Amino acid sequence: MIVNEEFLSRLRKIFDLNLYEVKVWTSLLSRGVSTAGELSNISDVPRSRTYDILESLEKKGFIVMKLGKPIKFIALKPEEVIERVKKNLVVDAHEKAKRLEKLKGDEVLEELNSLFVNGIKFVEPSDLSGSIKGRQNMYNHLDMMINNAEKNAVIVTTADGLSRKMEALMPSMEKARKRGINIRIAAPINESNYKVAKQLSKVAEVRSVNNKSLGRFAVIDDKQLMFMLLDDKQVHPNYDVAVWLSSDFFAQSLGHMFNSAWKDFTPLSKIKGGYIVT
């Protein structure tokens, strides 16, 4: 059976399968019911690996084993596979979350923290920097920075980025606000994101930068900063890149520049429905 390589690649990404798994699965779909030997020949997967692959696909909910001799395997309707995979992902994520939650009071976490605390003592502040790839990883790191904030947090973003920030960071900003952290957010506010800005104003002071491009960055406590290197309208989320730095000098310098510009931004109270009210 010949299947387009691009199609196989898409299936691998969508269903998180390896190459052999996706080859055997699509081969079985084309047959309905088949033996391991037949599938090995059709899919061009080594016979020695086919049984392991079929067992893996069965566990993941892609196929069903038919009892009898010889052992045969039955393909499931693709819509049913999608539902099974979704349910399995939820169950698996729940189980992993429970295991991680148990670590909070476990000696394993104490040992990990001991390794980190002892190791960080030998790290120069200038070495605490790194690049972060992928928008979700960037938001995860920014979330951590906000959770660790002690005094203040500044976030500058784009019009589209404002909506994403609310979705990704609202819980951590709510907690930070309750701790007394002063949060300021600057972004172009328009008709499409005005409601988002109003929602964020419950936990932060939000102002419009009047469509001026200030870039995308965050400064926490005048000690740490993270700035994004690419235009969010021109880069796929998976390829977005940010740089994180722990530098008092750089963070304070950027913070001073932001404070100087802050007074020129339009307060949310002067904006109605995304338009400035004069």
* Class of the CATH domain delimited by 125-276: alpha beta
Q: What is the DSSP letter of 216?
A: -
Q: Which residue has the tokens 């995860």?
A: 140
Burial (Cβ within 10 Å: 0-12, 13-18, ≥19) of residue 241: middle
What ranges in 16-158 are assigned the alpha helix state H? 19-31, 36-43, 47-59, 78-102, 107-120, 135-147
Give pLDDT tens digits for 193-248. 999 999 999 999 999 987 566 789 999 999 899 999 999 988 988 899 999 988 88
What's the chain's average pLDDT?
Answer: 86
Own/partner pairs for 17-24, CB < 8 Å, 24+ apart? 17/60, 20/45, 20/49, 20/53, 21/53, 21/56, 21/57, 24/50, 24/53, 24/54, 24/57
- What are the Cα distances from residue 56, in Å, to 31, 63, 141, 157? 19, 9, 34, 44
Between 92 and 49, whose confidence is greater?
Answer: 49
Q: Which two tokens stand for residue 179?
A: 């701790």
Q: Which residue has the tokens 């196989």?
A: 8
pTM equals 0.61
* Class of the CATH domain delimited by 5-78: mainly alpha
Q: What residues does each domain of the chain span?
A: 5-78, 125-276
